[in-house]
Every structure is written in structure tokens, then in C-alpha cells.
């Protein structure tokens, strides 16, 4: 049954803006539009709000799903920090992860990614003294690609007609970087395979190995963390907790267990939404943050899809890879267990990232192409107060969706013995990877639970269990339909698909969509306010 998240107002049939999904893209857009005096209704199909920023609890533990670390939150002047402060009325605090934010482990070699770009350069050069010039060139290119991205992203807020006139000019410099794969760019700088492997050691953050990913995505991601990693004080649940009052203050509200079935369209104008239970809500402006694939295939009427040939758009993009995540609860506080704050990225020694993915895609019993270990309890300074004597660890790896496809029509928690046995096998392999890197955790594990691509499909509605929405290939960045405006009047998109994956991407997408709707330059307000 539809429920309010923390509703203070009487539910109405008519709002100024309806937002589909409560991911950060929609939350950010809703908070900004609320500050513009709009009454917003956020509709979330899950039993909890926040999209990938949601948390869940078992026994004495709480886990974050889609936030392990965020960059650029240290300085009050940074764009993401300003925007978060704006949409939360400065109620969300951030904790610095310290000197090392990512640790790349290849066989028995360890490479730390340290805070501060000059420190990082030095660190890399200490491992690869003969590659000093290549490292400098690489960092310069990362900055250059980032510089060109500003106009590229700004262009997305332009009305379609204006975009046709001046879009090409604004995007052309970015395309020089986005059209190339990460590997193509890196091979132009160095032939050192180990250096390439290390420099792309965070590829899991955008889901594609070097031969497939766009260099622009790679550059945006690595630059994002140059000034270190940050974690929300009090855990990811604080994101929606601190945005909700801003939406409520303007008379809006967030509903959970509220699945939108269809957007109501009359004469090519969005009028409202019909819920899965048949109830209708009306608004002049509708925003979907439910992912472009869901929006184009499930939420719009068939006639609209045909009229605007929306299905053809999807032939040009691919869903991102699926993942499994082992959520672990441990006896012992993070300090008692001496848990690190840095994320560990563990890779096979023998093959390149692309090769080890190909090997594993053929047979998942082969070595995992990547094992990512995150220590959220250690990152949150408020954790020990909230959960004394306990810790949590998350371990993630990729997995082809097809492995789980045959259980697609079974029910959550009741998928059968074969499914449970496969999960247990994968969980044990991931636990062994943890014990190898952090041996003091052996014997301390109290409980663990593995999520699969079907979990992602069930809770966050990504049909192929995709971890990051649409894949970040060079072709993705050429797709002009990935923008707030759609061919339907009053109907807009937001979320990671219209910009890029990541908390920063989703956050900024909300600002972009709010700017496109109001026709105002709201960035100025964020900086002023
Ligand atoms: C395992 C994992 C780890 C991550 N770690 C990090 C990290 O450390 N740092 C970082 O920056 N980023 C990270 N990310 C990425 C980041 O979390 C996402 O890019 C971002 O949160 C996506 O936000 P979004 O607004 O696009 O929507 P989402 O969070 O994808 O939310 C979409 C929402 O729409 C809802 N919905 C779908 N269909 C309907 C419907 N019909 N009716 C109503 N609601 C609907 C869904 O239930 C969902 O809640 C991670 C992601 C994952 C999966």
C-alpha cells in the first residue's frame, strides 16, 4: 500500500511537479524546485526512499547500497559540496576518508591512490620511475578532458531548438575525449601494461574496462577523487533524511511503495501519472528519474513511443554490467578490528582488466576480474555511537545478468535451492578474498547476505540488474536524447542516465533538469545561496 516517507501534509490529487523515483537525481531536482516555490510529489516504488542512496537493516546492522565514497566534498567552494549544502539546507555533513582513498592490489603489489594530485603523481612515479613523463601527460589529459566537460553538460539544459543551433559548438571539444576509449588514450601515452592497469584501477566505479569505456568518463571519475574521498556522517540514509524537509517545507511530499504504472499524456502533453493501484495524480510537469530504459519502455504509452520512435534510441545504448554485493556484519568495532577506510580494488595478476573480464564472462568459476572491498563502518565517524561493538563491510564484483536470468520470475527470498547454493558459493569466494587482504576479520563475521542482479531488479527496478544504468561507452556520450528535455511537452528526464553515473552525476542532473524546466540559471543561486 502507498505510504508516506515522513509526510506532514494531506495528500492531494494535484501537484506542481511529479517526480518518478526517489533516486538522488529526483531528490535533487525536487529540492531545487521546492526552493523555487513548487509543490513536488516524489513517487518511489521501493518500500524505502533514496534510490541507490537507500539503506537497509538486518539484526544489529545497517548497510549503505550505492554510496561508498564521494569526491570533491572537502572544500566549501566545490560544486558538489555547494549543491549538497543547498538541497539539504547544510544539514548533511561529510567525513574525510584520510590520505588514502583507493588501494589497488595486483597480485602482491599494492598501489595507493593518495589525496592531492601532486601527491598522487609522486606516488605513481615512485612505483614507475621510468614513466614520469607519461604520468604527467596522463594527469594533464585528465584535467583537459574535465575542462571540456563543462560546456558539454551545460548544453544539455538548452531547449532543443537552441541546442540544434549551438549544441555542436559547445560539445565539439568534449567529443575529442569522449569519442576515444580509455585504452586508446593510455596506449598513446605509455606501453607499460602494469601502469595502464593501475591507472584504470578504479574502472569499477563506472563499470567498463579500458578497451570499452569512454576516456571522458574515466577522466571525470579519476579527477573527482583527486582531493580525496568523503562519506556522509550518519550513513547514506542521511541523504534523503536531510532533503525531505526541504521538499516538505514547500508543501511537497515523498511517497514510498508508490509504483508509477504510466505517464498520462494527452495531445503530446504530460498531464499526470497513473499508479500501479490505479490511483491518479496530476501535475503540469512530470520528471522521470527511473532510468531512461524504464521510462522509454515501461512508463510511456505505446502510441507515444511509436510517435517519437523512442525505441530506436535504445538501440544505440547498452545496459551496464550487473553486480553481486556481499553485505557483511562483524563482531567488533571498526577500531577494534583495525579496519581501513580506503577501498580495496583487487585484480588478477596475470591478465589485463579487459582480458580477465572476458575470461570470467566465459566461466564465472575463474578468478573474479575485480573484487572491491569497502569498509563503510570505518568511514562514518558516527557509526560507533549508533552501532557499538559492530562493523560492516561490503564486497562487490561484477557478474553477467544471464547467470541469474532463469530465476527472473521467482520471488525474492524464495528462489530455490540451486539459486541459494550459487549465492553461497559466490559469498564464500568473496569472503576468502577479504580474509586474504584483511586477515583480522576471520572469525569475526557474524552474518552475511549476498545481493544478486535479481535483487537490483527487484528493489531498484533495473531490468537487467544493471549497476549504473546505461553503459559509459564513447557512443553513449553522442546520444542527444540523454538530456532533461524530451519530445513530450511537460515531460523531463533526470538521474544518472542523462549525465553520468555517480552521486555527483545524479546530484548535478537534478540541477540541470530544474534549470531546463524553469529556464533559469539556477547554478548562480546555488553559489549565491
Ligand atoms: C553498488 C553500488 C555502489 C555505488 N557506489 C558509489 C559510490 O561509492 N560513489 C558514487 O558516487 N556513486 C556510487 N554508485 C552510483 C550512484 O549510487 C548512482 O549513480 C546514483 O545514486 C543514481 O541515482 P539516480 O538518481 O540516477 O537514481 P537511482 O538511485 O537509480 O534511483 C532510481 C529510483 O527510481 C525508482 N523507480 C524505478 N521505477 C519506478 C516506478 N515505476 N515508479 C516509482 N519509482 C520507480 C527505483 O526504485 C529507484 O529508487 C554506486 C551504485 C551502486 C549500485
Instruction: Identify the pLDDT of residue 412.
Output: 82
Q: How many residues does the chain have?
A: 529
Structural domains present in the chain: 3-54+70-92+233-317+469-528 (3.50.50.60), 117-227 (no CATH), 321-340+375-460 (no CATH)
Question: pLDDT band for position 529 (50/70/90)?
Answer: low
Give the sign of the dihedral formed by CA 97, CA 102, CA 103, CA 105: positive
Question: pLDDT band for position 449 (50/70/90)?
Answer: very high
Q: Does any ligand 1 atom lie closer than 6 A to the CB of residue 43? A: yes
SS3 208: coil
Instruction: Identify the pLDDT of residue 472.
Output: 98
CA of 460 to the centre of ligand 1 (A): 7
Residue found under cell 560546456: 151
pLDDT (tens digit, 9 = 90+) per residue, 450-507?
999 999 999 989 999 999 999 999 999 999 999 999 999 999 999 999 999 999 999 9
- Please classify residue 119 by burial: count the beta carbons closer than 10 Å to its beta carbon, then call 0-12 exposed, 13-18 middle and 19+ buried: middle
Q: From CA 431, how far away is CA 394, in angstroms rounded? A: 10
Instruction: Identify the pLDDT of residue 423.
Output: 96
Take atom 46 of ligand 1 and give the residue whose Cα is closest: 460
Grid cell digits, residue 62: 545497517
**CB–CB of 8/244 below 8 Å?**
no
Q: From CA 165, how far away is CA 47, in angstroms rounded? A: 44
Question: How many other β-carbons are positioned within 10 Å of the β-carbon of residue 445?
Answer: 16
**CB–CB of 236/64 below 8 Å?**
yes
Extended beta strands in 359-405, E state: 371-374, 390-399
Task: Return the DSSP state at 323.
Answer: E
Task: Return the DSSP state at 11.
Answer: -
Q: Does any ligand 1 atom lie closer than 6 A to the CB of residue 201? A: no
- DSSP state string for 98-157: -SEEEEEEETTEEEEEESSHHHHHHHHHHH-GGGHHHHHHHHHHHHHHHHHHHHHHHHTT
Q: From CA 222, how far away is CA 72, in angstroms rounded? A: 11
Looking at beta carbons, which pairs linking 107-110 to residues 24 or more positions away fall under 8 Å?
107/348, 107/349, 109/194
CA of 21 to the centre of ligand 1 (A): 9
CA of 469 to the centre of ligand 1 (A): 8
Point out the ligand 1 atom lying closest to the alpha carbon of residue 456: 53
Spatial CA neighbour of 409 closest among 422, 419, 421: 419
Contacts of 113 (CB under 8 A, 6+ apart): 100, 101, 102, 103, 104, 120, 123, 201, 202, 225
CA of 503 to the centre of ligand 1 (A): 9
Q: Does any ligand 1 atom lie closer than 6 A to the CB of residue 512? A: no
Grid cell digits, residue 437: 587482504
Q: Which of 290, 463, 511 to mutate to test the pocket of ligand 1 (most atoms within 8 A of CB)?
A: 290
Q: Does any ligand 1 atom lie closer than 6 A to the CB of residue 229? A: no
Alpha carbon distances (Å) from 368 to 221, 338, 363, 496: 23, 26, 10, 26
Q: Does any ligand 1 atom lie closer than 6 A to the CB of residue 69? A: yes
pLDDT (tens digit, 9 = 90+) per residue, 178-220?
999 999 999 999 999 999 999 999 999 999 999 999 999 999 9
Q: What percent of the chain has pLDDT over 70?
A: 99
Contacts of 423 (CB under 8 A, 6+ apart): 450, 452
Instruction: Identify the pLDDT of residue 4.
Output: 82
Q: From CA 475, how far away is CA 472, in angstroms rounded? A: 8
CA of 56 to the centre of ligand 1 (A): 14
pLDDT (tens digit, 9 = 90+) per residue, 272-317?
999 999 999 999 999 999 999 999 999 999 999 999 999 999 999 9
Q: From CA 271, how far away is CA 375, in angstroms rounded? A: 45
Q: Does any ligand 1 atom lie closer than 6 A to the CB of residue 182? A: no
Alpha carbon distances (Å) from 346 to 108, 224, 312: 10, 21, 38
Q: What's the whole-number mean pLDDT along residues 513-523?
A: 93
Q: Does any ligand 1 atom lie closer than 6 A to the CB of residue 380? A: no
Q: What's the whole-number mean pLDDT along residues 98-102?
A: 98
Take atom 47 of ligand 1 and give the residue whose Cα is closest: 460
Point out the ligand 1 atom lying closest to the alpha carbon of residue 24: 25
Alpha carbon distances (Å) from 413 to 407, 416, 452: 11, 8, 11
Amino acid at each position: 500500500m502507498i505510504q508516506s516517507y515522513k509526510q506532514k501534509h494531506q495528500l492531494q490529487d494535484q501537484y506542481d511537479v511529479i517526480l518518478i523515483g526517489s533516486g538522488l537525481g529526483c531528490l535533487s531536482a525536487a529540492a531545487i524546485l521546492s526552493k523555487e516555490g513548487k509543490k513536488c510529489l516524489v513517487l518511489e516504488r521501493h518500500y524505502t526512499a533514496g534510490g541507490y542512496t537507500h539503506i537497509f537493516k538486518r539484526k544489529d546492522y545497517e548497510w549503505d547500497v550505492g554510496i561508498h565514497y564521494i569526491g570533491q566534498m572537502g572544500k566549501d567552494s566545490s560544486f558538489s559540496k555547494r549543491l549538497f549544502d543547498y538541497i539539504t539546507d547544510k544539514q548533511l555533513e561529510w567525513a574525510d576518508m584520510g590520505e588514502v582513498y583507493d588501494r589497488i592490489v595486483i597480485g602482491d603489489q599494492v598501489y595507493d591512490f593518495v589525496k592531492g594530485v601532486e601527491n598522487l603523481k609522486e606516488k605513481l612515479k615512485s612505483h614507475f620511475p621510468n614513466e614520469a613523463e607519461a604520468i604527467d601527460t596522463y594527469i594533464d589529459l585528465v584535467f583537459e578532458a574535465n575542462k571540456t566537460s563543462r560546456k558539454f553538460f551545460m548544453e544539455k539544459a538548452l531547449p532543443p531548438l537552441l541546442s540544434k543551433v549551438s549544441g555542436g559548438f559547445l560539445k565539439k571539444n568534449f567529443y575529442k575525449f569522449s569519442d576515444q576509449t580509455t585504452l586508446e588514450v593510455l596506449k598513446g601515452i605509455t606501453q607499460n601494461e602494469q601502469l595502464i592497469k593501475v591507472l584504470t584501477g578504479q574502472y569499477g566505479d563506472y563499470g567498463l574496462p579500458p578497451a570499452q569505456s569512454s576516456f571522458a568518463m574515466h577522466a571525470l571519475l579519476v579527477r573527482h577523487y583527486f582531493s580525496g574521498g568523503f562519506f556522509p556522517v550518519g550513513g547514506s540514509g542521511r541523504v534523503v533524511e536531510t532533503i525531505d524537509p526541504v521538499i516538505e517545507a514547500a508543501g511537497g511530499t515523498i511517497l514510498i511503495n508508490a509504483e508509477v504504472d504510466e505517464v498520462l499524456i494527452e495531445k503530446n502533453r504530460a498531464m499526470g501519472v497513473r499508479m500501479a493501484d490505479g490511483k491518479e495524480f496530476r501535475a503540469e510537469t512530470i520528471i522521470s528519474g527511473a532510468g531512461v530504459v524504464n521510462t522509454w519502455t515501461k512508463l510511456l504509452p505505446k502510441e507515444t513511443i511509436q510517435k517519437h520512435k523512442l525505441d530506436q534510441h535504445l538501440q544505440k545504448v547498452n545496459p551496464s554490467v550487473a553486480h553481486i554485493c556481499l553485505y557483511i556484519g562483524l563482531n567488533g568495532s571498526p577500531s577494534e578490528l583495525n579496519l581501513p577506510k580506503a577501498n580495496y580494488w583487487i585484480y588478477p595478476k596475470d591478465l589485463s582488466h579487459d582480458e580477465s573480464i572476458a575470461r570470467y564472462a566465459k566461466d564465472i568459476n575463474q578468478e573474479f576480474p575485480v573484487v572491491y572491498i569497502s569498509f563503510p563502518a570505518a568511514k562514518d565517524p558516527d557509526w560507533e555511537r549508533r552501532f557499538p561493538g559492530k562493523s560492516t563491510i561490503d564486497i562487490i564484483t561484477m557478474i553477467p545478468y544471464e547467470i541469474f536470468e532463469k530465476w527472473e520470475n521467482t520471488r525474492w527470498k524464495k528462489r530455490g535451492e540451486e539459486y541459494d547454493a550459487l549465492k553461497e558459493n559466490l559469498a564464500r569466494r568473496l569472503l576468502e578474498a577479504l580474509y586474504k587482504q584483511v586477515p583480522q576479520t576471520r572469525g569475526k563475521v557474524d552474518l552475511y547476505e549476498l545481493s544478486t542482479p535479481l535483487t537490483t531488479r527487484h528493489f531498484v527496478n533495473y531490468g537487467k540488474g544493471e549497476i549504473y544504468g546505461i553503459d559509459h561507452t564513447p557512443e553513449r556520450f553522442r546520444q542527444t536524447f540523454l538530456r532533461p528535455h524530451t519530445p513530450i511537452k511537460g515531460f523531463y528526464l533526470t538521474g544518472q542516465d542523462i549525465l553520468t553515473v555517480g552521486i555527483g552525476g545524479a546530484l548535478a542532473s537534478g540541477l540541470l533538469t530544474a534549470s531546463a524546466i524553469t529556464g533559469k540559471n539556477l547554478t548562480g543561486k546555488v553559489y549565491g545561496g
